[in-house]
Amino acid sequence: MKLSNYLEHIENIEIFPIVGLVIFMAFFVLLLLWVFKSEKAVMDEHASMPFDEQEIELQHKEQTQNSNRHGQ
């Protein structure tokens, strides 16, 4: 039997897409509220996080290269 045949026999299966939509919409609305209620400084800090990680990685690479040079 196909999966669709099994799903046809589940009672009240028609409620699952509605529940999924409600969960998605609630998450989206809460996320929008969080963004609009947050302070601009916090959002700027979050926006710069990827660049901070790149700087940390570059510093780490420089340190390992320097330690390899001094170790040779």
Task: Clarify whether residues 31 and 1 are in a common domain.
Answer: yes
Q: Are 44 and 33 found together in one domain?
A: no
Q: Are residues 22 and 44 in the same domain?
A: no
Residues 43 and 62 in one domain: yes
Tell me, yes or no, whether 26 and 51 share the same domain.
no
Q: How many distinct structural domains can be found in the chain?
A: 2
Contacts of residue 43, Cβ cutoff 8 Å, sequence gap at least 6 = 35
Q: For the segment 20-72, what is each residue's pLDDT rounded down to a tens digit?
A: 999 999 999 999 998 889 898 888 888 887 777 667 676 667 767 766 666 55
Looking at the fold, whether 26 and 4 belong to one and the same domain comes out as yes
Domain membership of residue 29 as a residue range: 1-37
Across the range 2-18, mean pLDDT stands at 83
Residue 12 φ/ψ region, left for φ over 0, alpha for ψ in the -120 to 50 degree band, beta for the rest: left
**3-state SS, residue 69:** helix
Give the model's pLDDT for residue 8.
79
Q: For the whole model, what pTM was predicted?
A: 0.51
